[in-house]
Chain A
Amino acid sequence: MPEEPGLILEFPLEHYRFEIAGEASSKIKQVVRQLGVNAQTARRISVCAYEAELNAIIHAYGGFMRVRVLPDRTELEVTDAGPGIPDIEAAMREGFSTAPDNIREMGFGAGMGLPNMARSADEFEIRSSPENGTWIRMLVRH
């Protein structure tokens, strides 16, 4: 079956580039708002995008985010070639963090990234291994 049409946005995410952190998310928010997605839904999409972006920048030596905006939903897929998450169950708990001190001092690494994503998305899937890094797919219905 051919893939449904939709607007596709792709962003490389670079390790420790904090000066551009949030730019992909801002662009995504701007695009979905222009396409008529309401403010509350755009906020949920922004949270998913922002947390994924920061995780890749902090933990995964960078990665890649692909976003597809369809009339009734937005899908976000984030891949990285980082070290993987040894214990996903622990990482999903609020407050669990492996971020180094210098990152925490900036207010990151609160252990809220994955829980925020899971709460904001209607569908959330995560796979991770040391060999293949981490893959996250999120779907937000409009």
Chain B
Amino acid sequence: MTLREMAAALELTIVSDTAALDQPLAGGYVSDLLSHVMGQAKAGQVWVTMQGHQNIVAVASLVGLGAVIVTSGVEPEEQTVNKAIEQEVALCMTKLPTYEVAGRLYQLDTAGK
């Protein structure tokens, strides 16, 4: 699964426009609690969250996450977008709720396996 494929299947808008579209992504992690992501998400995974504030970028960058999807129509703050571009974190948003995003992501991720 690549960012390009995921963006199409999950109706995503990629808001950090420097993101590498063909980078491989593997698996996902769903949580709105930053310490759970910090402690348990794995490098290369896609993080699905409703948090749109700038600290999600620090967490994504420290964990080495493949991409972050902000769901349910929450708009990431301007500083969040700027930081994502600066730290080369692939930041996406969608109007779909977290449940829908997680379901589609799981199908897409496991389809090729």
Contact = CB atoms under 8 A, between A and B. Distances in A.
A19 B54 contact: yes
Interface in A49-64: 50-51, 54
Interface residues of A, number: 26
A69 B39 CA distance: 22
B98 interface: no
Contacts of A120: 39
B9 interface: no
Interface residues of B, number: 24
A106 B39 contact: no
A22 B33 contact: no
A33 to B, nearest CB: 10
B62 interface: yes
Given A39-B64, A43-B43, A43-B64, A21 B58 contact: yes
A26 B62 contact: yes
B55 A112 contact: no
B61 interface: yes
A25 B35 contact: no
A26 B58 contact: yes
B2 interface: no
B28 to A, nearest CB: 17
A31 to B, nearest CB: 13
A22 B33 CA distance: 15
Interface of B: 31-36, 38-39, 43, 49, 51, 53-59, 61-64, 79, 87
Interface of A: 18-19, 21-23, 25-26, 29, 39, 43, 46-47, 50-51, 54, 106-108, 110-113, 115-116, 119-120
Given A106-B51, A110-B33, 14 more contacts: A26-B58, A39-B43, A43-B43, A43-B64, A46-B62, A47-B39, A106-B34, A106-B53, A107-B31, A107-B33, A108-B35, A110-B36, A111-B35, A112-B39
| Pairs A-B, 6 closest by C-beta atoms | A22-B58, A112-B35, A110-B33, A116-B39, A46-B62, A107-B34
